[in-house]
Structure 1
Amino acid sequence: MSHLYIQNAAAIGPLGQNLDEIWERVLEGRTAYGRVELSGSREFFAAETFPGYASDPKTYAPLFYEAITRLVADLKIETPVDAIFFATAVGNLADAENDIYSGHELGLEKLDFAAVEDLFRKTPAWGEKTRFICVPTGCCAGLQALGLAQKTMPYLGLCRAIVMSLDFGLSPLALEAFRKINATAVFDDQVKASPSRPFCKERDGFLFSDGGGAVLVSVERSVEPMPRITGYGCVSSAYHMTDIAIDGSSIRESIEQALLMSGLKPSQIGHVNLHASGTVQNDQAEYQALTDLIGSELPPITAFKGNHGHALGGSNMLEIALTWKMMREEIVPPTPNKLLVDAFDSVQPRDLSGPLTNRTTLKTASGFSGIHASVIMEL
């Protein structure tokens, strides 16, 4: 299996408008969270890329498309790519909702996630032979798009591609839907720290956010060393519509598949960037998968949703972009401010940044209905 070299990365989210800005704030241990107010006196905790916009569907709806344009521009692409792998969980849901609230007729293109191809056609990334692939598989979508790119590009004769995942899902429908399954948190002005608390004893759900990321990848080896994807694994266990098995068996299997493809052993993993949504189920499942594979002495762990919340499918590539940055800078960021990280003895907090001495990194992601994906990144 060929490697997929990450030539550049971009991100946008609640901590900043570009990857460098987000990275600096992660190094400071910063967190992002606030309040979204909906009609009917409904208030939710949320982390917004553009604070204040989500409370008004009319102003929020265009942000999905604006973010795509920004991410492509930040990749600094001068010549068209061979393919674009675009991943999302809810797509342009906010735009479709806004049409309904405004009394406009809802066109089917608003419900077709692949319709964003037309926007990419207006960017420098698009050429006559560029192929567009949409992966709308939920909170695992970004990693699945990355794995799909690694597996298919060599066989299709594709050299360069963009892999992007993005969600601006802070819409009334999404906020209420996640409230029905006790995922979104009702705003409480007595809470003085981020409600996104992965691997903390006092955790009860995730902080809904928006944003995403993109990487420019190539199957050709570069002259200078750069982070590359060497392994990928994905398991769809169909365990439950929203719950996951806390024994971590499916997560472990996805990691084992990625390790097998990369040719590495669990003991060779030097860092782990987890899905870490902040739910008790997810923490227990990922912890169990890691200890079953690696043992009780775990390598350093990062959980970026503690910084910027959970942007659904957009989180995958935002976190891949931050991991790419971490590997290039050889720095492990500190634990986000006011996160105790006290749920498991093997997962310890960091007060300060530290050196990343072993850059072989495992990245995991999980989604509804028991979908779990993992990638191995090496430099």
Structure 2
Amino acid sequence: MGADIAVTGLGLITPAGHTPEENWAVLCRGRSAAARDPELAGLPVDFSCPVTGFDPAAELGRPLARRTDRFIQFALVAARRAVTDAGLGVDGGLGERTGVVLGVSSNSMSTYVTEFGHLGADRPERVSPLALPRSVPSMAAGEIAIDLGARGPNLVTATACASGATALGVARDLLRSGTCDIVLAGGSESARSRMAATCFTRMRALSRRREEPELASRPFDARRDGFVLGEGAAVLVLERAADARARRARVLAVLRGYGAGADAHHPVAPHPHGDGAARAIRAALRDADCCLADIGHVNAHGTGTPLNDTAEAAALTRVFGDDVPPVTAAKGVIGHALGAAGAIQAAYTVLALRHGAVPPVANFEGQDGHHKLDIVAGRPRPVSPGAGLSSSFGFGGQNAVLLFTSG
């Protein structure tokens, strides 16, 4: 086990709100943010969990807002707020010992659909010169570096819906190796494009509850039928715990363990018995030098798709046996933010440890199958201080698990 990594700042922009406090309050109410989405009007699935009340021009200024896509705008605002929350000054920039690692799982489909439309109409002169720099995944991290003067390693991880969790794991390694002193780590995504909605609909991955969108996202519930598209960003400020104490920073939590690996099974379906997920959970426990009894709760990937939830339940049962800790899943409230989901979950795990409580899973009424988890439902549940697991999985059999302890 290497040096403990402290979380000293949080920035969140999600369908549950624009601050950690707003997010926590909405999570604890346990009601879905899903609603009809004008961006998706006329499609077979026309609802999502959007970020509301977000004004990029007001947050970033009109020139910066104009040259960036929505997922970059989310990342910029979340990063600024995380740095402020950590008490870091940015006069003169954060410097060459500060890195940025963000999880982004895809290009900005909204921009590309528009620009390909110009090409399809034989109007190449109408393609925007900003099309590439405003939409390629690496620009989310690049724009943060430009904005905050972070001149250390700068990269994006792309492990599908595990991208945000992978980014935190990579950031942890940069700190443990001594390459960086501070890393802004997290993820950002805006999945509410017509192309994304159409692709996932064709794959039968989305819920079809058009008449009751607020009841559509229901992780681990017997009547689940798919996930709901979401969006948002989370950025966590990470630094070595010794350095955080030296500058008298507030330590929100400690990132103590990380485990990752591949199913090597199927392009889009998880291993039916959760083999890769179970190995990643065990790896995170070993990395943290924690035992099963140390885990106070699990913040599950919990997409609300039939295959994912079954495989995840199987993995948890394989690791914990009959004593699986209380399980929550934020996607019932905020939908699935794809590449940002793991980072948002990580931030929520930190908040749960800070508050000593686990938020409920929205729309959960009862389980099916052979695996019976202790799902937190109805209201938040107090838990004793300890450790929290945050699990993320994605297409290609990607598995990434983070283990946090109280600060």
Deviation at 1:122, TM superposition (A): 3.9
The residue type equivalent to 1:13 in the other structure is T
Matching of residue 232 in structure 1 with residue 243 in structure 2: no
**Which residue is equivalent to 1:245?**
271
Correspondence for 1:355 among 374, 379, 382: 382
Return the alpha-carbon distance in structure 2 between the equivalents of residues 39 and 375 of structure 1: 34
**Which residue is equivalent to 1:213?**
234
Return the alpha-carbon distance in structure 2 between the equivalents of residues 52 and 84 of structure 1: 23
Between 1:71-80 and 1:239-248, the stretch displaced more is 71-80
Matching of residue 201 in structure 1 with residue 226 in structure 2: no
Judging changes above 3 Å, is the alpha-carbon distance between structure 1 residues 143 and 40 closer, same or farther for their aligned structure 2 residues? closer
What is the root-mean-square deviation in Å for CA atoms of aligned residues?
A: 2.5
**Which residue is equivalent to 2:308?**
282
Correspondence for 2:52 among 33, 50, 53: 50
Correspondence for 1:83 among 80, 89, 99: 99
Return the alpha-carbon distance in structure 1 between the equivalents of residues 332 and 24 of structure 2: 14
Judging changes above 3 Å, is the alpha-carbon distance between structure 1 residues 18 and 367 closer, same or farther for their aligned structure 2 residues? same
Return the alpha-carbon distance in structure 1 between the equivalents of residues 220 and 208 of structure 2: 21
Correspondence for 1:320 among 339, 346, 356: 346
Return the alpha-carbon distance in structure 2 between the equivalents of residues 232 and 63 of structure 1: 29
Encode CA deviations 1:136-187: one digit per residue, 9 max, x unaligned: 2211111111111112323243111100201002111111111111012346
Return the alpha-carbon distance in structure 1 between the equivalents of residues 285 and 208 of structure 2: 40
**Which residue is equivalent to 1:340?**
365
Return the alpha-carbon distance in structure 2 between the equivalents of residues 258 and 14 of structure 1: 29
Encode CA deviations 1:72-113: one digit per residue, 9 max, x unaligned: 221114231610001111243322333334663265445632
Judging changes above 3 Å, is the alpha-carbon distance between structure 1 residues 249 and 117 closer, same or farther for their aligned structure 2 residues? closer
Deviation at 1:214, TM superposition (A): 0.9
Percent sequence identity over aligned pairs: 22
**Which residue is equivalent to 2:174?**
152
Return the alpha-carbon distance in structure 1 between the equivalents of residues 325 and 404 of structure 2: 15
Matched residue count: 370
Matching of residue 136 in structure 1 with residue 138 in structure 2: no
**Which residue is equivalent to 2:61?**
none
Q: Give the secondary structure class of the aligned counterpart of 1:327.
A: helix
Return the alpha-carbon distance in structure 1 between the equivalents of residues 193 and 42 of structure 2: 15
**Which residue is equivalent to 1:178?**
200
Instruction: Assess if the C-alpha contact under 8 Å between 2:359 and 2:376 holds in 1.
Output: no
Deviation at 1:361, TM superposition (A): 0.9
The residue type equivalent to 1:195 in the other structure is A
Instruction: Assess if the C-alpha contact under 8 Å between 1:8 and 1:215 holds in 2.
Output: yes
Correspondence for 1:93 among 93, 109, 113: 109
**Which residue is equivalent to 1:126?**
149
**Which residue is equivalent to 1:373?**
400
Q: Give the secondary structure class of the aligned counterpart of 1:139.
A: coil
User: Please, which runs of 5 or more residues in structure 2 have no aligned partner?
Assistant: 56-65
User: Please, which runs of 5 or more residues in structure 1 have no aligned partner?
Assistant: 54-58
TM-score, normalization: structure 1? 0.90
Judging changes above 3 Å, is the alpha-carbon distance between structure 1 residues 95 and 345 closer, same or farther for their aligned structure 2 residues? same
